[in-house]
Structure 1
Amino acid sequence: MEFKEIESAVEAILFASGDPIQTERICVALDIDRPAAEQVLQKLMDHYAYDRRGVRLVRVEDTWQLCSAPDYADAVRRAFEIRKPARLSQPALEVLTIIAYYQPTTRAYVDQIRGVDSSYTMGLLLDRKLIEECGRLQVPGRPRLYRTTRTFLRSFHLQSLEDLPELPDFGGAGQMRLGDNGEIVDPDGAAETDSPSAAE
């Protein structure tokens, strides 16, 4: 297949998929190697962005997806009578930030940093598929662990977690971490004596 034909075939696959598709699946479908596939995908991405097309090709980790351009979000919503999604509240942004930078982490760890119960807010983030459960910490009580999702990456226009900006200042508490036994360690390296790490 010539380059232009491969490019058209890749575009057709992306359009037909609707969902994010892995680079490897494109390679297998078109019998091409990864460098060739990534060259085509990158060219398509640049083409859509440079020509200010109504669609964009978005890369999230090792997957690719065609999406409508953010510039035309209002027009798309009006066409489908979609209400503008509710903005994340300040508590939700706080919880999401902590999980993004310290994942995988427990709800108790999030509570410790914020100083308040975060169960309701985390439930909302789970419903919006911005975070997900990813196992349990191997300590007494086996608290659930949480991490961000690909929906989170797409929502904040990130290709991977490496694209997160520099860690914000949580006023000292942001330097806390989970110790080997699940205890919460403060910035000076001392474990909290009444750690709620076993809470879910």
Structure 2
Amino acid sequence: MTDTALPRRTKLADRWPTALAIVATAGAVAVMVLLDREVELFGPSIAVMAGIYLMAYALGRPSTAWLAFVVLSAVVSVLHVLDNRQVLGIDPAVGMTVVLVLLWLWTVARRRFTEGRTFSIQTAGMVGFGALTLLCATVQPRLGIALAGVGFLAHGVWDAYHFKVNQVVNRPWSEFCAVVDLGVGVALLVVAAT
């Protein structure tokens, strides 16, 4: 007997991650328009994005990407406040890169390195996105904004890969993050070019 079932139609409600991402992207663009601090705000976000994947991977539950988003957004916000008040003297990009390395060490402590290929991919993400975060903080602002845009676009490709393989994070997260990354990445490149 052959399966003659029709493919399930995608309902508009199934695209809620995309709708939520459009709202988040609009908020990010509003921040760009209202504040002239793109490289300061969006450079450390590259490490945040990679950290979300590492945290979910360390926990071994793809749906925890949403929790990781909240936790790491709070961490980077605290780093920005401390930097603005000159309390610690640590650039948020450096602080988030340190957090990224700590999350990677946590995955090692949880023995997630036994999943060779996935662990290697997450390690490459930590190194690449961490380096890009630090680079954004060390170059002149216009180039830093462009690099942040490239980082967001690269992370959008990262999201698409994880959506396809359906590993590390759940598909609603990777869909949401990809849409945000592509929209914000393009907006940052436009800001850098103008």
TM value normalised by structure 2: 0.22
Greater share of strand: 1
